[in-house]
């Protein structure tokens, strides 16, 4: 126990003295600070501007050309009411000149009306977010509908009421709303993925470095392999948790400092309103998932003679993990997180940390399924830990060609 | 204190590595563990240090099975290895703590040894900034800082310059003088002869020779004479096939039995111009080659 404590402290110190580790953490904290302070910074610049809300030069110009000069005023009014972000101007130039003006940047876009029901939209670069054509077609069709109704003898007021009639509807989600929890589940799964792969590799490299520098020769005579393995893995698990805590903690802190500037941003709001129970699940699955993979990475690291061998040795583990990640991500984006693949994955210990967590976050999972999944995961983590410690014990003193994983497990079970 | 290995058996997979390895080492004396590459020395040391269990046999301290919580062992591995990228003091403290020392005691002991080996100025440097010989001195501190009862030194002199070798010799002699059991493994026979009172030669996992070095030498059949003369050719002619040349230019006369010794010596000294004549005593090198060579002598 004493030895384990010494090793844990020494390994943890290694992380905090590691420039890359500290650098990445600080980088993320600064990045998050920048994102969180962004609206505030923007608002500072905006309030410095004396022409607030009245900046004709920054408002893009939209040209509208009608086939009939008599309709110009009506059309202009309608377009102005639909395109409030634009400076709508009536164009009298011909089409070639309008096109030149757009290319030259004098105007951003132009609508050329052929008649009451058809128009052509000209724009220089068409952005995928450009919905001007749809908006215009709605505007034009409304005007057409209104005119048609007025022509049929309905009063202008009634016609406007009919057209502007809105149905009121309410959505009540009895389970979980995927709209709300999609983003934070996404962030958490991604964090889990990054941290496990990053730290797993670190554990493997760390073990292989000790072996290739032959510090192992002395270590094995000074400490029990189980203490060494568990000390290392738990140290990296703690370091990972601390790093995540620093990053997410700073995100929460900076968000609260700037809360008023964010206003009613649904995504941000949902991210910072994660239910406490989900955070607990996150912690449970993070720790268990981290440990089961870190043990495997540690065992594999111990079988490599040279540092260069590490990349090929850890390949099967990395692949396993990436497959799990892809299944989860695809199910998440398809919106159907309770598909058969996910249900199976949520009970397999190597995929359940991500799969079960996603299901809990985005769907309603019966408590016994969660309990079974966690029980399987805990049992497997202990099993993998014990086998890994045995492989480690053999691996660290073995030099030469790395043995196959199958052989190792066989030998470990035999001993 | 007496360390005894009794009938140690070990195999890796189907390969038998150690067969009935037994030898003793006493406190206040150094024991040389000799063997060719791959003979089983490191395996023996690892079993002694409980890195892995043996399949049979026992490690005894004063006749009782060793208690690794009570008996402290210091080890200088042949494959030197510490953390190259870490601060020297940090890792020395780490290893001492792993051996059960408190941090304060560890720092005290490490300071003493850094000073003793003239390394104090390097304590806050990274290990890989040091020369090979200096790294080896740091490694030696990991073997000695926790004041072990048994000191195992595997090729301690390789890579050291003569001044550092002298320093290490003093340290080893000091450890022997204060009653430690020193187990020495080396291929440099001169060092073994200088330090070790007893030896154990291991060949292909079997102890082929074990005992007090002086006794071994004395028990060697005294059936050869070494002769130095100004007229070697005449002697060679006289003795014919039983006379051969030695590497350093002397003559070696093989006797048909040790009892002939007196008679032949008299004959040589009376008939020839002789500088020196003595009974041949084998060097440790000769003994080693004889027992651990390709056609080893049966023990």
Name the percent of chain A lying above pLDDT 90: 8
Residues A221, B73: C-beta atoms closer than 8 Å: yes
Does position A51 have pLDDT exceeding 80, yes or no?
A: no
pLDDT tens per residue, range B216-249: 888 877 788 888 888 888 888 888 888 888 877 7
Distances (CA, A) of A404 to A203, A316, A401, A409, B137: 19, 11, 9, 9, 38
* Least confident piece of the model among A401-405, B25-29, B141-145, B215-219: A401-405
pLDDT of residue B271: 84
- Chain B CB contacts of A210 under 8 Å are 83
Does position A54 have pLDDT exceeding 50, yes or no?
A: no
- Chain A CB contacts of B75 under 8 Å are 218, 221
Q: What distance in Å separates the CA atoms of residue B52 and residue B48, rounded to the nearest whole number?
A: 9
Interface test with B, best of A217, A227, A228, A414 (most B CBs within 10 A): A217
Residue A219 in contact with partner chain B when CB distance is under 8 A = yes
Does position A414 have pLDDT exceeding 70, yes or no?
A: no
Per-residue pLDDT band at A153 (split at 50, 70, 90): confident
Per-residue pLDDT band at A56 (split at 50, 70, 90): very low
Per-residue pLDDT band at A275 (split at 50, 70, 90): confident
Q: What distance in Å separates the CA atoms of residue A244 and residue A24, rounded to the nearest whole number?
A: 11
Interface test with A, best of B42, B44, B83 (most A CBs within 10 A): B83
Q: Report the relative pairing of strands B30-35 and A118-123 from DSSP bridges.
A: unpaired
Residue A407 in contact with partner chain B when CB distance is under 8 A = no
ipTM of the complex: 0.75
For the four alpha carbons of B73, B76, B81 and B83, in that order, the dihedral sign comes to positive
pLDDT of residue A55: 46
Q: From B15, B2, B135, select the one nearest B59 (Cα to Cα).
A: B2
Which residue has better confidence, B282 or B172?
A: B172
With CA atoms as reference, the chain B residue closest to A219 would be B95
Burial A211-243 (b: 16+ CB within 10 A, else e): bbbbbbbbbbbbbbbbbbbbbbbbbbbbbbbbb
Q: With residue A112 as reference, give the H or E element that holds it.
A: strand A109-115
Residue B77 Cα, gap to closest chain A Cα (Å)? 7
Helices A2-17 and A19-48, packing angle to 10 deg: 50
- Chain B CB contacts of A15 under 8 Å are none
For the four alpha carbons of B12, B18, B24 and B30, in that order, the dihedral sign comes to negative
Per-residue pLDDT band at A401 (split at 50, 70, 90): low
Mean pLDDT, rounded, of chain A: 83
Question: Of the ranges A226-235, A370-379, B68-77, B266-275, which is most confident?
Answer: A370-379
Residue A215 in contact with partner chain B when CB distance is under 8 A = yes
Does position A180 have pLDDT exceeding 80, yes or no?
A: no
Mean pLDDT, rounded, of chain B: 87
Q: What is the CA radius of gyration of chain A?
A: 31
Q: From B78, B83, B143, B75, select the one nearest B109 (Cα to Cα).
A: B143
Return all residues near A179 (Cβ < 8 A) that are at least 6 apart. Answer: A266
Q: What distance in Å separates the CA atoms of residue A251 and residue A31, rounded to the nearest whole number?
A: 10
Residue A160: helix, strand or coil by DSSP?
Answer: helix
pLDDT of residue A307: 78
Q: What distance in Å separates the CA atoms of residue A182 and residue A171, rounded to the nearest whole number?
A: 17
Does position A247 have pLDDT exceeding 50, yes or no?
A: yes
Q: Are A185 and A270 in contact (CB under 8 A)?
A: no
Q: From A139, A144, A159, select the one nearest A82 (Cα to Cα).
A: A139
**In the 8-state DSSP scheme, what is residue B258?**
G
pLDDT of residue A312: 83
Residues A2, B142: C-beta atoms closer than 8 Å: no
Per-residue pLDDT band at A147 (split at 50, 70, 90): confident
pLDDT tens per residue, range B6-38: 889 988 877 888 888 999 898 888 999 998 888
Per-residue pLDDT band at A371 (split at 50, 70, 90): very high
With CA atoms as reference, the chain B residue closest to A5 would be B98
Interface test with B, best of A218, A226, A235 (most B CBs within 10 A): A218
Residue B148 Cα, gap to closest chain A Cα (Å)? 12
Does position A319 have pLDDT exceeding 70, yes or no?
A: yes
């Amino acid at each position: 126990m004493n030895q384990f404590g010494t090793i844990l402290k020494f390994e943890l110190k290694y992380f905090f003295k590691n420039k890359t580790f500290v650098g990445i953490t600080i980088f993320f904290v600064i990045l998050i600070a920048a994102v969180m302070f962004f609206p505030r910074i923007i608002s500072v610049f905006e309030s410095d501007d004396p022409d607030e809300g009245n900046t004709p030069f920054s408002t893009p110009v939209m040209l509208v050309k009608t086939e009939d000069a008599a309709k110009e005023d009506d059309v202009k009014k309608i377009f102005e009411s639909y395109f409030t972000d634009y400076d709508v101007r009536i164009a009298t130039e011909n089409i070639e000149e309008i096109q030149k003006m757009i290319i030259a940047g004098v105007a951003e876009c132009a609508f050329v009306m052929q008649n009451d029901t058809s128009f052509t939209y000209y724009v220089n670069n068409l952005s995928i977010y450009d919905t001007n054509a749809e908006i215009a077609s709605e505007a034009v069709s409304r005007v057409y509908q209104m005119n048609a109704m007025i022509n049929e003898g309905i009063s202008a007021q009634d016609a406007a009421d009919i057209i502007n009639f809105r149905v009121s509807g309410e959505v009540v989600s009895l389970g979980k709303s995927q709209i709300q929890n999609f983003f934070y589940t996404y962030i958490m799964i991604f964090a889990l993925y990054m941290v496990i792969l990053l730290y797993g590799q670190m554990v493997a490299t760390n073990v292989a470095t000790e072996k290739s520098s032959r510090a192992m020769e002395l270590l094995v005579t000074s400490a029990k392999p189980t203490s060494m393995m568990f000390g290392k893995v738990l140290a990296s698990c703690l370091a990972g948790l601390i790093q995540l805590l620093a990053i997410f903690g700073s995100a929460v802190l900076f968000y609260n400092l700037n809360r008023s500037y964010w206003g009613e941003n649904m995504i941000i709001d949902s991210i910072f309103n994660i239910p406490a129970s989900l955070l607990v699940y996150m912690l449970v699955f993070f720790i268990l998932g981290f440990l089961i993979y870190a043990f495997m990475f540690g065992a594999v690291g111990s079988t490599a003679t040279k540092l260069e061998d590490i990349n090929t040795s850890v390949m099967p583990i990395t692949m396993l993990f990436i497959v799990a990640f892809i299944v989860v991500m695809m199910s998440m984006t398809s919106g159907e997180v309770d598909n058969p693949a996910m249900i199976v994955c949520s009970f397999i210990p190597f995929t359940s940390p991500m799969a079960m967590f996603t299901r809990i976050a985005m769907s309603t999972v019966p408590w016994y399924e969660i309990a079974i999944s966690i029980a399987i995961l805990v049992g497997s983590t202990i099993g993998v830990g014990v086998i890994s410690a045995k492989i480690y014990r053999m691996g660290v003193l073995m030099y030469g060609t790395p043995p196959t994983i199958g052989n190792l497990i066989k030998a470990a079970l035999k001993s | 204190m007496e360390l005894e290995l009794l009938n140690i058996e070990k195999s890796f997979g189907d390969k038998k590595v150690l067969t009935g390895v037994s030898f003793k080492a006493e406190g206040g004396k150094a024991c040389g563990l000799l063997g060719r590459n791959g003979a089983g020395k490191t395996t023996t040391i690892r079993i002694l240090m409980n890195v892995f269990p043996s399949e049979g046999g026992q490690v005894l301290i004063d006749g009782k099975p060793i208690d690794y919580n009570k008996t402290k062992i210091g080890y200088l591995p042949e494959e030197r290895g510490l953390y190259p990228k870490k601060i020297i003091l940090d890792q020395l403290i780490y290893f001492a703590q792993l051996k059960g020392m408190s941090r304060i005691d560890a720092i005290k002991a490490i300071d003493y040894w850094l000073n003793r080996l003239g390394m104090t100025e390097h304590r806050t440097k990274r290990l890989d900034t040091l020369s090979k010989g200096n790294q080896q001195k740091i490694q030696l501190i990991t073997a000695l800082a926790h004041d072990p009862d048994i000191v195992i030194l595997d090729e301690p002199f390789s890579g050291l310059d003569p001044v550092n070798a002298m320093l290490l010799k003093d340290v080893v002699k000091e450890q022997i003088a204060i009653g430690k059991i020193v187990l020495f493994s080396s291929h440099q026979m001169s060092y073994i002869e200088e330090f070790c009172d007893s030896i154990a030669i291991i060949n292909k996992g079997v102890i082929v020779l074990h005992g007090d070095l002086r006794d071994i030498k004395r028990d060697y059949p005294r059936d050869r004479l070494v002769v130095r003369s100004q007229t070697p050719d005449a002697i060679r002619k006289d003795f014919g096939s039983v006379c051969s040349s030695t590497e350093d230019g002397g003559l070696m006369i093989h006797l048909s039995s040790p009892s002939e010794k007196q008679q032949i010596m008299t004959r040589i000294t009376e008939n020839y111009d002789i500088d020196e004549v003595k009974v041949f005593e084998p060097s440790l090198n000769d003994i080693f080659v004889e027992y651990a060579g390709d056609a080893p002598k049966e023990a």
